[in-house]
């Protein structure tokens, strides 16, 4: 079934598989080796490399670093909110995803490919990993202000003014019932729009390109704003939003 090849050739195949993230092929390579001297030594090397790469590259999705310090958005978002929202909630989605995907067809997929093809718990956790990473980047220390350039033009074309866009975004985010996400997206025709989505909704599953989002789950604002979602959304628009990030996504 498998032809024993030279050590050099086996390593070449092994490295190709590692970089293609084909975990299953590495396992097969290990299984086919037998107890004669050469193949036994080779199999030990393969096991070592396989485990190393499974843990560090192949299997695990990781919690990305925040793009700023946990106190960088204070007083608008407290370090305590990041203690929970980032270090507990976001981290839990990563852990859940890594626990759900081994031995499934999703084990070797990128996060984006999982989101586009999975459903149920795997989809929910993968989408929440991606959404939160995106959301952290939608805010910046000394954020707020106004969009510029092509994005400002598209916003003015859609809503007439940035002020009217902000009013529309505020109304959508406040009116997004229950737990969910409110997005500014770029449509296929190049125009922009506001889209409300549910608990793990993400534009990666639609034809829209995400430009900006706000997390309106209660865990996003309850520590700092209690039940006052309107104040959280208006603070996001006035003092936190990272228009440079949104413009880069629009380009």
Name the site residues for Mn ion (rule: CB under 5 A).
215, 217
Quick one: 14 or 197, whose CB is closer to Mn ion? Answer: 197
SS3 label, residue 57: helix
Quick one: 117 or 179, whose CB is closer to Mn ion? Answer: 179
Quick one: 94 or 155, whose CB is closer to Mn ion? Answer: 94
Cβ atoms within 10 Å of 145's Cβ, excluding its own: 13
- Pairing verdict, β 209-215 and 192-197: unpaired
Q: How far is CA 146 from CA 23, 75, 149, 155, 232, in A?
A: 47, 20, 10, 11, 18
Residues composing the chain: 251
Minimum Å gap between C-beta 124 and Mn ion is: 12
Minimum Å gap between C-beta 93 and Mn ion is: 9
Gap between the Cα atoms of 218 and 204, Å rounded: 23
41, HSE (Cβ side, Cα atoms, 13 Å): 6
Q: Which residues pair with 182 in a beta bridge?
A: 196, 214
Nearest-CB residue to Mn ion?
215
Quick one: 68 or 217, whose CB is closer to Mn ion? Answer: 217
Quick one: 217 or 222, whose CB is closer to Mn ion? Answer: 217
Gap between the Cα atoms of 72 and 70, Å rounded: 6
Minimum Å gap between C-beta 131 and Mn ion is: 7
Minimum Å gap between C-beta 202 and Mn ion is: 12
Quick one: 156 or 179, whose CB is closer to Mn ion? Answer: 179
Closest C-alpha to 165, from 92, 105, 238 = 238
Minimum Å gap between C-beta 221 and Mn ion is: 10
- Torsion-angle region of 79 (φ positive above 0: left; ψ -120 to 50: alpha; else: beta): alpha
Determine contact, residues 174/230, Cβ cutoff 8 Å: yes
Minimum Å gap between C-beta 135 and Mn ion is: 7
Minimum Å gap between C-beta 128 and Mn ion is: 7
Quick one: 215 or 224, whose CB is closer to Mn ion? Answer: 215
Gap between the Cα atoms of 170 and 225, Å rounded: 16
């Amino acid at each position: 079934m498998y032809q024993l090849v030279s050590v050099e050739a086996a390593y070449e195949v092994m490295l190709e598989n590692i970089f293609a993230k084909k975990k299953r092929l590495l396992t097969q390579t290990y299984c086919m080796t037998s107890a004669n001297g050469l193949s036994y030594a080779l199999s030990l090397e393969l096991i070592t490399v396989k485990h190393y790469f499974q843990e560090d590259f192949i299997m695990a999705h990781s919690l990305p670093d925040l793009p700023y310090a946990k106190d960088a958005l204070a007083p608008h978002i407290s370090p305590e909110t990041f203690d929970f929202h980032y270090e507990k909630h976001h981290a839990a989605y990563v852990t859940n995803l890594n626990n759900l995907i081994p031995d499934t067809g999703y084990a070797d997929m990128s996060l984006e490919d999982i989101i586009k093809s999975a459903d149920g718990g795997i989809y929910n956790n993968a989408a929440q990993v991606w959404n939160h990473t995106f959301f952290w980047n939608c805010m910046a220390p000394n954020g707020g202000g106004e969009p510029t350039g092509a994005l400002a033009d598209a916003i003015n074309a859609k809503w007439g003014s940035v002020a009217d866009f902000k009013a529309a975004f505020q109304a959508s985010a406040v009116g997004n019932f229950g737990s969910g996400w409110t997005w500014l997206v770029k449509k296929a025709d190049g125009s922009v729009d506001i889209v409300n989505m549910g608990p793990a909704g993400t534009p990666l599953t639609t034809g829209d390109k995400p430009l900006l989002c706000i997390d309106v789950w209660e865990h996003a604002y309850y520590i700092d704003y209690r039940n006052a979602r309107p104040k959280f959304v208006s603070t996001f628009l006035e003092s936190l939003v990272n228009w440079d990030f949104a413009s880069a996504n629009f380009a």
